[in-house]
């Protein structure tokens, strides 16, 4: 039996194509895929977009125009692991563009209601290392932030924050 990687399906009301285009414009190693438009069999109006495939940094997604009955909530979020502050700043600003909302601890909600965590790649190491006092200081600093500040997290870990 062959196993394929999972594809994450994101349910939108009517904005799947707009959202896919938005996300592909943000993530550099991304591309659009196949589009399925409703045909005479329905259930949506013939010719309107039903699904759109897209890939963000190698991760496959499908956008579905399923109607307003389901919406995103923070119980599911996408994590963007960043190598430095410039990447955090880039993704933070781009994902907020057009009406997103800052939340807390590196979380934001984009204009479509999808939750994202924009985090430094080193954060988990800072919080799980053998120095529990440093981990506690980093956690306390993190809890005060919306967008992550890597320098401030490092300073907290070193006892300078």
> What stretch(es) of the chain map to CATH 3.30.720.100?
7-68
Predicted local distance difference test score (pLDDT) of residue 2: 75
Sheet of strand 30-37: strand arrangement: 8-12, 59-65, 49-56, 30-37
Predicted local distance difference test score (pLDDT) of residue 161: 59
Predicted local distance difference test score (pLDDT) of residue 42: 84
- For the domain 72-161, what is the CATH code? 3.10.180.10
Q: What CATH class is the domain 7-68? A: alpha beta
pTM for the full predicted model: 0.93
What are the distances in angstroms from CA 116 to CA 33, 51, 80, 103, 108?
A: 22, 22, 7, 10, 5
HSE-up (13 A, CA, CB side) for residue 53: 9
Contact 49, 17 (CB under 8 A): yes
Predicted local distance difference test score (pLDDT) of residue 4: 82
> What stretch(es) of the chain map to CATH 3.10.180.10?
72-161
Low-confidence ranges of the chain (pLDDT < 70): 161
Determine how many CB atoms are found less than 10 A away from the CB of residue 150.
20
């Amino acid at each position: 039996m062959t196993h394929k990687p999972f594809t994450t399906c994101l349910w939108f009301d009517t904005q799947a194509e707009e959202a896919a285009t938005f996300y592909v414009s943000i993530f550099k190693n991304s591309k659009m895929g196949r589009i399925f438009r409703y045909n005479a069999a329905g259930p949506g109006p013939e010719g309107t977009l039903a699904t759109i495939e897209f890939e963000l940094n190698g991760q496959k997604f499908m956008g579905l125009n399923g109607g307003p009955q389901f919406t995103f909530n923070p119980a599911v979020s996408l994590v963007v692991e960043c190598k430095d502050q410039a990447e955090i700043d880039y993704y933070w600003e781009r994902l907020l563009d057009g009406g997103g909302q800052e939340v807390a601890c590196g979380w934001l909600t984009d204009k479509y209601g999808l939750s994202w965590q924009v985090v430094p790649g080193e954060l988990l190491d800072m919080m799980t290392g053998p120095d529990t006092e440093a981990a506690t200081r980093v956690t306390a600093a993190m809890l005060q932030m919306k967008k992550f500040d890597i320098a401030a997290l490092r300073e907290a870990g070193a006892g300078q924050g």
